[in-house]
Amino acid sequence: MTVTLFIPCFVDSLYPGVGISMVRILERLGHRVVCPEEIACCGQPAFNSGYWPEAREVAGPVLRRLQDAEVVVIASGSCGAMLKVFYPQLFAETAQAEAAKALSPKVWEFSSFLADKLGVTDLGARFPAKVTFHDGCHGLRELGIKTAPRRLLEKVQGLELVEMADAETCCGFGGTFSAKFPMISTAMGEVKCAGAAETGADYIVSNDSSCLMHVQGLLSRQGSPIKTLHLAEILAQR
Amino acid sequence: MTGREKILGRIREALTVPAPHPGAHDAHGGQAPHTSFKGRPVHVARGWMPPGGDTFEEQVVRFRAASTELKTDFRFVGSRDEAFTELARIRDTEGWKSVATHRAEQPSAAAASLGLPVIHTDEGYDVDALESCDVGISGCDVLVAQTGTVVVTNRSAGGRALSVLPPHHVVVATRDQLVRDLTAAFARVQETYGTGYPSMISFITGPSRTGDIERILVLGAHGPKKLTVLCW
Amino acid sequence: MTTHVQDFLAQARVVTRDLRHRGLIQTALRKYETARDRKKAAFNDWQSARQAAAETKWDAINHLDTYLAEFADKMEARGTQVHWAGNAAEAREIILGIIRSKGARSIIKSKAMTAEEIHLNDAMEKAGYEVVESDLGEFIVQLRHEPPYHIVFPAMHLTRDDINELFQKELGSASTREPEELTMIARRALRRKYITADVGITGANFAIAETGMISITENEGNARLTAALPKTMITLVGIEKVLPKLEDLALFLPMLATAGAGQTITGYNTMYGGPRQPGECDGPEEYHVVLLDNRRTELLADPEQRDALHCIRCGACLNVCPIFKNVGGHTYGTTYSGPVGSVITPHLRGLQDWKHLSGSSSLCGACTEACPVKIDLHHHLLRNRRNAAFGEPSFFERLAYRLFAFVINRPGLYRFAKEAGRLTEPLQKLIRNTPLDPARAWTGSRDLPPMPEQSFKEWWEERR
């Protein structure tokens, strides 16, 4: 099928490897990948801050450009939730209400697309390391994604998956929250990092680069040897 | 306009716009809950609650398990005589010197069997005298297998204070008072009293407890430190 | 004068760095989670039971006028005096009026968040009455002249050593580190108070329309004693506490206990349907129920967030909230803290003054998942943010989002912005975490990822 890839702005500019990995995996599975240049952001920052008209300025064009897509696959549970769950609310009672509703079922977070939609869990990946998985909250609670990333990780050769205490507890990123309330965001992140450290894992892996940016930022500042990596980058390893 | 009319008026005005039913925001994944109810939700939900046991034997097992967990001393015996023998044993271990109870067949017989000075709360009582009793012996309405709960009312248990003021509360019950679950317990209470409810109905589960200091369990916070259920 | 948001930020800065607090709360709430999970597992179907509880509350709240009238009529038919308080001042006046008319001097109270909400203790103490909180946790925070830290666990921020020190100072008790001994010190101190108090004041967890009863949930037996010994009993209850039928408690009592404290059922669940009735041997001669609106009807008028009135004050959302765990209960500066407090306080006390509580959330949704009556908590925080920005938008924030939209919608400008970011990276490093750093809110505690040589889109273009 033709997969329209949605690469969120921060993945594009800071974590290109995530997008590249996704393209490689999807093409290896025999799908045609398209990636419209004009699409860069889902509009979540303005939406989450309460500025809905401004969010629609960003989201409106996205909605138009995606309306003919067969499926839309996103590297982030958070942006995925924005398109799938929050667009219908953001555009309720506007001219684009129907478009938002029509788009929703076509949107997939990457791990769920592989494991649930395509039914593929073994991608022939190899990654010999001890890994713990952090559930991004939007993927977990808005999209209900819990087992898909784990089913994928279990099939990675050489990879040892260990669960951390409070894997489902928020890492503290929360978008603009992380800058508006940095002390709370940081404290939450410290608790998260401590939980991950207890497992003795080499890597904290997630399906959301935004969580990982926050967690990696803390780990580097603390001088911790633990590294962070997006799930797609592991699945693309050979 | 009275306060009642004002508030009810505000409520009626607020309710002119309907609200969506719950569950509209459920996440996409996961197992979906039952969302359509034929009849009152509490009836439908009965099967989803912690189980109480289908047979009498299962219910005894449940009640015992809950009692053990909650530190209720549950003694299920074959006859009233055996129950009173158990009671005498507890009297001796704890060194009881005075008893409070009420004028009802089983509790007052139990109290009388101890051979100690007895206060009957339903004949009028002095609060200090009741407080200084070593044990309060009361009847009850229902025992609930599902939760290990004893249901008392101020009519079945000698008023409001008898079951909480003395340091040890002993409940005497007969086996026909054991029911499966809370739904059955409420039904039994409504059946017993019709619309003439006593002014207090209390579902007592275990002795008085607190976890207010470092979430560490301490028994006997304000009410009884011990709860004994004698059933035959 | 500082604003509520400044107080919140200042307090949050202190508490989030307090590692003793962090350890204490994390440990306590881990214990809670373990117990709760075990009790949830005892349900045959917890998720469906939640749905049933939510439907029951939906029915109650969306027919509140009918049920409340039925409740009051049934209560009055058995000799209870029902009072209707539109706001906090009215409620205080009603209660003080009752106390005055009884010539009372001392008052024993069992836990009531509604009493905290209307600052009842202050009012009674100012009027010269002796007021004693009987719940152990409430007793402790009262001795410290503090509001409760948590709606269910009022003293969870204190260690046994804190409490020992407090009791030695305030009660002159002997030093001990045993929670049991400390509890017994309080038990002894309070026993006389029950016996000598003229008036007992309680809150209520539920108000049953069908039978005209209130239901009180507690573990200690202090509410039982409060409702048994004084000659006058007063219950202050929010109008949203109504349940249609007595049997509904068969669902709600286990839900409340499981979600709130990880118990199968709470120690004492007691229904009161009037003062001492003919033929009864004890209990109060007079019983007053005060129904409190205090802007609950304003929340009721918002159909989008009406389900916030389903709240049974179990505290589950606080217990799982990572914000609560890190800033603690007092930082909120509100009667109701945690997620539900952040949702309802803007309705009860003014949106613009309290919108920061809705902002201070990562929107993780743990609260919504934990709520036994399925309130859409974290989405309501979003709705509060939307309503706040619509009512009084911040000039700079709106400008920033407009600028962002302008850039992001123009691929050329967006490319330029990325390039500018990359070129100025050395400069950014130079001023990192200094007052000149525009990203200091981030870089104060976190590193920024390095800018890669090539963005994804550049790679994509090149590849094509």
- How sure is the predictor about B24, in pLDDT bands with cuts at 50, 70 and 90? low
Judge whether B75 lies within some domain: yes
Identity at C449, one-letter amino acid code: P
Identity at B102, one-letter amino acid code: H
Question: What DSSP letter does each residue of B30-88 carry, written as one string?
Answer: SPPPP---SS-HHHHHGGGSPP--SSHHHHHHHHHHHHHHHT-EEEE-SSHHHHHHHHH
Query: In terms of CA atoms, which chain A residue is nearest residue C450?
Result: A14
**CA dist., res. C131 & res. C96, Å (int):** 12
- The confidence score (pLDDT) of residue C428 equals 85
Buried/exposed code over B6-27 (b: 16+ C-beta within 10 A; e: otherwise): ebbebbeebbeeebeebbebbb
Tokens matching residue C130 = 């002796």
Which of A9, A166, A173 to probe by mutation at the C interface, max C CB count within 10 Å? Answer: A9
Residue C260 · residue C314 · CB < 8 Å:
yes
CA distance A83 to chain B (A): 13
pLDDT at position C1 over 70: no
Tokens matching residue A223 = 């001088």
Residues with Cβ within 8 Å of B223's Cβ and at least 6 positions away in sequence, in order, are B164, B165, B169, B207, B208, C220, C221, C222, C224, C225, C268
What residues of B are in contact with residue A141 (Cβ under 8 Å)? 27
Cβ count within 10 A of residue A150: 18
Phi, psi of A52 (to 5 degrees): -70, -40
* Chain segment C161-220, per-residue pLDDT in tens: 999 999 999 999 999 999 999 999 999 999 999 999 999 999 999 999 999 999 999 999
Residues with Cβ within 8 Å of B16's Cβ and at least 6 positions away in sequence, in order, are none
Query: In terms of CA atoms, which chain B residue is nearest residue C251?
Result: B42
Which of A44, B128, A24 has its CA nearest to residue C363? A44
Q: What is the pLDDT along chain A (238 residues), one digit of tens a residue?
A: 999 999 999 999 999 999 999 999 999 999 999 999 889 999 999 999 999 999 999 999 999 999 999 999 998 999 999 999 999 999 999 999 999 999 999 999 999 999 999 999 999 999 999 999 999 999 999 999 999 999 999 999 999 999 999 899 999 999 999 999 999 999 999 999 999 999 999 999 999 999 999 999 999 999 999 999 999 999 999 8
- The confidence score (pLDDT) of residue C50 equals 96
Residue C104 · residue C198 · CB < 8 Å:
yes
Tokens matching residue C204 = 């209520």
SS3 call for B199 = coil
Cβ count within 10 A of residue C449: 17
**CA dist., res. B31 & res. C367, Å (int):** 18
Q: How many CB pairs under 8 A join B and C?
A: 317
- Integer Rg of chain A from CA: 17
CA distance B39 to chain C (A): 11
Residue A2 · residue A70 · CB < 8 Å:
yes
Which of C457, C460, C451 has its CA nearest to residue C421? C451
- The confidence score (pLDDT) of residue B29 equals 43
Interface touch C446/A51, C-beta < 8 Å: no
Query: In terms of CA atoms, which chain A residue is nearest residue C398?
Result: A51
Angle of helix A209-222 relative to helix A182-198, nearest 10 degrees, comes to 80
CA distance C367 to chain B (A): 13
Angle of helix C19-41 relative to helix A182-198, nearest 10 degrees, comes to 60
Identity at B151, one-letter amino acid code: V
Buried/exposed code over C83-117 (b: 16+ C-beta within 10 A; e: otherwise): bbbbebebbbebbbebbeebebeebbbbbbbbbbb
Query: Where do the H-state alpha helices sit in B113-206?
Result: 127-131, 182-193
CATH number of C43-294: 3.40.50.10420
- How sure is the predictor about B26, in pLDDT bands with cuts at 50, 70 and 90? low
- The confidence score (pLDDT) of residue C464 equals 80
Cβ count within 10 A of residue A202: 15
Give span(s): CATH 3.40.50.10420, chain C.
Answer: 43-294
Interface touch B221/C136, C-beta < 8 Å: yes
**CA dist., res. B95 & res. B113, Å (int):** 15
Q: What angle do CA A78, A80, A86 make, to 5 degrees?
A: 85
**CA dist., res. C357 & res. C380, Å (int):** 12
CA distance B33 to chain A (A): 14
Residue C331 · residue C11 · CB < 8 Å:
yes
* Chain segment C432-444, per-residue pLDDT in tens: 888 888 888 999 9
The upper half-sphere exposure of residue B94, i.e. CA atoms within 13 Å in the direction of its Cβ, equals 21
Neighbouring-strand partners of residue A133: A205
Tokens matching residue B40 = 């009152």
Query: In terms of CA atoms, which chain A residue is nearest residue C442?
Result: A179
How far CA C217 is from CA of B85, B158, C224, in Å, comes to: 35, 21, 10
DSSP annotation of A109 reads E
Q: How far apart are the first and last CA of chain C?
A: 61
- How sure is the predictor about C426, in pLDDT bands with cuts at 50, 70 and 90? confident
pLDDT at position B32 over 70: no
Residue B115 buriedness (CB in 10 A; 0-12 / 13-18 / 19+): exposed
Interface touch A145/B29, C-beta < 8 Å: yes
Angle of helix C456-463 relative to helix A16-28, nearest 10 degrees, comes to 40
Residue A70 · residue A105 · CB < 8 Å:
no
Q: What SS3 string covers C44-82?
A: CCHHHHHHHHHHHHHHHHHCHHHHHHHHHHHHHHCCCEE
Chains in touch with A (3+ beta-carbon pairs under 8 Å) read B, C
Cβ count within 10 A of residue B215: 20
Tokens matching residue B82 = 């055996």
ipTM rounded to 2 decimals = 0.96
Tokens matching residue C94 = 């009603």
Is A160's Cβ below 8 Å from some Cβ in C? no
- The confidence score (pLDDT) of residue B25 equals 60
Residue C166 · residue C143 · CB < 8 Å:
yes
pLDDT at position B28 over 50: no
* Residue ranges of E strands in A42-201: 71-74, 107-109, 126-134, 157-161
| C295-305 average pLDDT score | 97
Dihedral class, residue B228 (left if φ above 0, else alpha if ψ from -120 to 50, else beta): beta
CA distance A156 to chain C (A): 25
pLDDT at position B203 over 50: yes
* Chain segment C98-111, per-residue pLDDT in tens: 999 999 999 999 99
Delineate the domains of chain A, giving CATH numbers in brackets.
2-116 (3.40.50), 122-235 (3.40.50.11810)
- The confidence score (pLDDT) of residue B30 equals 45
Query: In terms of CA atoms, which chain C residue is nearest residue A135?
Result: C364
Residue A68 buriedness (CB in 10 A; 0-12 / 13-18 / 19+): exposed
Residues with Cβ within 8 Å of C162's Cβ and at least 6 positions away in sequence, in order, are none
pLDDT at position C226 over 90: yes
**CA dist., res. A49 & res. A47, Å (int):** 5
Neighbouring-strand partners of residue A2: A32
What residues of B are in contact with residue C376 (Cβ under 8 Å)? 24-25
Which of B9, B17, B199, B196 has its CA nearest to residue C69? B9
Which of A6, A19, A10 has its CA nearest to residue A176? A10
CA distance A182 to chain B (A): 28
pLDDT at position B136 over 80: yes
Binding-face residues of C in 388-407 toward A, CB within 8 A = 388-390, 393, 397-398, 401-402, 404-405
Query: In terms of CA atoms, which chain B residue is nearest residue C379?
Result: B25
Neighbouring-strand partners of residue C268: B204, C218
Identity at C30, one-letter amino acid code: R
Tokens matching residue C24 = 């204490």
* Chain segment B35-81, per-residue pLDDT in tens: 667 778 999 999 999 999 999 999 999 999 999 999 999 999 999 99
Neighbouring-strand partners of residue B152: B202
Which CATH number covers residue B175?
Answer: 3.40.50.10420
Residues with Cβ within 8 Å of C87's Cβ and at least 6 positions away in sequence, in order, are C293, C294, C295
Q: What angle do CA C317, C319, C323 make, to 5 degrees?
A: 80
- Max Cα distance, chain C (Å): 92
Domain count, chain B: 1
Q: How many CB pairs under 8 A join A and B?
A: 15
* Chain segment C247-285, per-residue pLDDT in tens: 999 999 999 999 999 999 999 999 999 999 999 999 999
Interface touch C447/A216, C-beta < 8 Å: yes
Residues with Cβ within 8 Å of C160's Cβ and at least 6 positions away in sequence, in order, are B213, B214, C177, C178, C179, C182
Q: How far is CA C272 from the centre of its chain?
A: 24
The upper half-sphere exposure of residue C213, i.e. CA atoms within 13 Å in the direction of its Cβ, equals 22
Domain that holds residue B163: 43-231
